[in-house]
Every structure is written in structure tokens, then in C-alpha cells.
Amino acid sequence: MIKFLLIGLIRDKSRSRIPVIVVSIGVALTVLMHAYITGFMGDIIEINARVTHGHLKVMTAGYSENMQQMPNDLALTDVSSLTEELRQKYAGVEWSPRIQFAGIADVPDENGETRTQGPAMGLGLDLLDPQSPERERMNLEGSLVRGSMPGKANEVLLIELFSRKLDVNPGDRITFIGSTMYGSMTIHDFTVSGTVSMGQEALDRGMIIADIGDVRIALDMENAAGEILGFFREGFYDDEIAMENAAAFNGADGGNAKDLAPVMKSLSQQGTMGSYVGMTKSWSAMISMVFIIAMSLVLWNAGLLGGMRRYGEVGIRLAMGEDKGHTYRSMIYEAVMIGLAGSVVGTVIGLFLAWLLQKYGIDISGIMQGSALMMPTVIRANINPVDYYLGFIPGLISTVVGTMLSGIGIYKRQTARLFKELEA
């Protein structure tokens, strides 16, 4: 019977074409919207991860308790061997040492006297190694406004707004005044190779981006780093895996609570990011569920109306002596076939559109200018395993339920009144 019904649906386009198209559109929208919401909410997390938090962060116990103060006197030592150990234990994570520091950026005049100066935040990362992913991770080349990327020692990048405030141009010399890892004063000269704009006021207020090797020399931090950031190679933060890795690392260390003992924290364990990660999960689930319910109601209604439009056909079949149960089951079988076909087609279309949005994104940098929030300037989707079957909830289940409800009327039909209804 199933083969007979399938042939009938293929030959009778009026019974299959429109329902399959409606289901396909609804499923495609459901898959695309879920991938878009997941990607958009995840992008905000990724920005914070790339700039400061990482998906995982290794630091000393003392440093972790005062991260906001950037206490480099509690920095990690023997970083090269620790980084190599992390790369061997966690093959699915990229590890990059960084140093955050603060001080005063002093701009001398032609006589060496102070011309302008201002407070500056500093970020030391691997800029000169061509194999390092840090340039791409921070999108420095894409954010370049003037000048060029650092190509040799003691060349740094300044935030564009900060350089305008200090009246500094590429090629000019600036002097960093701060404190070393051991608390003594340091004065170190840098050359501005270029300026960048991160697109966020929170980052563009005043920052120096330098190679970590130069920062180590300036702060007397040989083979040391304030923190080692880990990033999942898949490109997206997974809180469960991050928590497992952190727990395993800290457990292997025997719970050593000494100030200089290395500890690992996931992104959700750093500051207020835990609340934000939880809130992101809740919002994504709620928004997706509302959209799924809405699409389910639409497709349920489509199945209901489709069954009601066949009221006359059902009457003829019953008048010819067909069993009510057989008629009802055949309608359900047809709904299952239509729902499956529409769900498969819609899922393929939705995944393709989500892939385009994930690969190319939507640039909204024009409306994000002046924002003080860490928001993404390019909206991208994020295709998850759930997107491969999520569309079958509204596409198959709702269509079948709608047909089942509309078909209940079959059992209420009285054979004695069928011919009168057909004559009318």
C-alpha cells in the first residue's frame, strides 16, 4: 500500500507539490534560524575569548585571583616547557603565551623631552613568528589603518584613536614607562610600525600591541608569561569540554594551592563570563524553541487544512465501501511521506544557507561604530549536529499531527448521509 500511495503522490502533483514546498520552506527557516542564533550568540563569546580570556587559560594560582590587576610579579616561569607539555596533553587545543601589562606611553620631541604622554594598556603576543596564529586570531592585518605590521624587534602597533590622541604616526618613537616582573622601573623604547582599529570603543581607548619577545625584554620576563591561552581547533567554545580539561589539569596537579603553581580555568570560570555563557545557552534555547513552536503551528495548520480540503475525496472513498480505518491510515502514511520529503529538502536548503552565512557572514561594522560593548562586527552562523535533525520536529511531526487531527472527522461520517453531502 505504501508503494501505491507513493506513486499516487508522485503522479498527482496537486496533492504533493504544494505541501512539500510549504514543509521545505518551514524546515529551511527553522534550520537557518537556529544556526544563526547559535552563531550570533557564540560570536560574542569568541570575541572575548580571542582578546582576553581564551577558551582555556593557564596561569598561576596567585595571578588567577587578581587577573584584573595583571600582576606580572606572579607570572608563569619556564613557559616554553609548560607550553610544550600542554600541546602534548591537549592536541585539540592551540596554546599561545601572552603578557598583559600597563604603564605610561611617553612621546618625546626632537630634544628627547616629553611632548605628550598617556596611560596605556599593553598586550604582548607572538607577532613576528610566521607560524603563529595570533595575527589572524586578533584580525590585526584586517584592522590595520595606517603603516604596516611589525616586521622586526621593538616595532609595535598602536590603536588608531590612541595614536591620534598622542599625535603619533607610523615611524615615530614612543617610550614605555612601567614596572618589571620584579617590581623595578623599566623604560623601553619602541617604534610605531602601524595603527589598528579594533572597532570597539572598549579596545580602542588606548592599547599597545607588541611582540611578546620585546615585552619580555622590557619587563625582565625571560621565558615567562602572565598567561597561556588555549583555543579549540574547531574554532568554537565548548563549555563542557573546557570544564573537563580544566578539572583534569588541576586534578593532576594535586590541588596545589601555592601562589606560583599553574592552574587552568575555562572561559566560563573567569570573572563574569560564566554568567554570560549560561545566559547565552538559555537565550539560544528559548529563542530557538519559540521559533520551532511557531513553525510547528504553521505546518500543523497546513496539514490540518490539507486534510480538510480532501473532505469530498474522503466521502467518495467511504461511499464506495472503503474502510474508515484504512482511509485514515492512508492519509497518515501520505502525511509521513510528505513530511519526510519536505524535511529532507528543507534541511539541505537550510544547511546550505547556514553554511554560506557561516563562511561569509554579514558585515554590520557600519552600525557598530562607537560601541563600547564587545559585540561581533560580522554576524556568522554556527552549524551544530542538532541542525541536521532539528527541522524534522516541525517538518514531520507537525505535518502528521495536523493530518491526524483533520482525519478524526472520518470516523464521524455517517454513510447514510454521504450521498446527500456529495450531491450538495
pLDDT band, very low/low/confident/very high, at 308 (cuts 50, 70, 90): low
**What pLDDT score does 229 carry?**
93
Sign of the CA dihedral running 55, 59, 62, 66: negative
Closest listed residue to residue 204, CA positions, set 165, 173, 160, 239: 160
pTM (whole model) above 0.85: no
C-alpha cell at 50: 580571542
Instruction: Tell me the CA distances in angstroms from 283 to 160, 243, 326, one per residue in order.
Output: 35, 21, 45
Sign of the CA dihedral running 303, 308, 310, 313: positive
**Are the C-beta atoms of residues 280 and 45 closer than 8 Å to each other?**
yes
Question: Residue 112, by phi and psi: left (phi above 0), alpha (psi -120 to 50) or beta?
Answer: left
**What pLDDT score does 302 carry?**
65
**What pLDDT score does 410 carry?**
60
Number of other residues whose CB lies within 10 A of the CB of residue 61: 17
pLDDT band, very low/low/confident/very high, at 293 (cuts 50, 70, 90): confident
Task: Give me the percent of the chain exceeding a pLDDT of 90.
Answer: 21
Assess whether pLDDT exceeds 80 at residue 25.
yes
Q: Flag the least confident range among 142-156, 180-194, 222-236, 352-366.
A: 352-366
pLDDT band, very low/low/confident/very high, at 400 (cuts 50, 70, 90): confident
In single-letter form, the type of residue at position 264 comes to M
**What pLDDT score does 374 carry?**
45
Mean pLDDT value across residues 61-90: 89
**What pLDDT score does 371 carry?**
42
What gap in Å lies between CA 227 and CA 52, rounded to an integer? 10
Between strands 207-211 and 224-225, the pairing is: unpaired
pLDDT band, very low/low/confident/very high, at 129 (cuts 50, 70, 90): confident
Tell me phi and psi for residue 184, to 5 degrees.
-85, 160
What gap in Å lies between CA 291 and CA 237, rounded to an integer? 24
Q: Which residues contact 361 (CB under 8 A, 6 or more apart)?
A: 378, 379, 380
**Are the C-beta atoms of residues 162 and 207 closer than 8 Å to each other?**
yes
For cell 510549504, name the residue: 22
Q: Flag the least confident range among 30-34, 177-181, 254-258.
A: 254-258
Q: How far is C-alpha 219 from the geometric centre of its chain's CA atoms?
A: 35
Between residues 289 and 120, which one has the greater pLDDT?
Answer: 120
What gap in Å lies between CA 37 and CA 295, rounded to an integer? 16
Between strands 114-125 and 207-211, the pairing is: parallel
HSE toward the beta carbon, residue 27, CA cutoff 13 A: 33
- pLDDT per position as a tens digit, 352-395: 999 998 888 777 655 545 443 445 566 778 888 888 888 888 88
Q: Which residues contact 19 (CB under 8 A, 6 or more apart)?
A: 302, 303, 306, 338, 342, 399
What gap in Å lies between CA 349 and CA 404, rounded to an integer? 27
C-alpha cell at 395: 517538518
**What pLDDT score does 53 carry?**
86
Mean pLDDT value across residues 89-94: 90
Terminal alpha carbon distance of the chain: 31
Assess whether pLDDT exceeds 90 at residue 234.
no
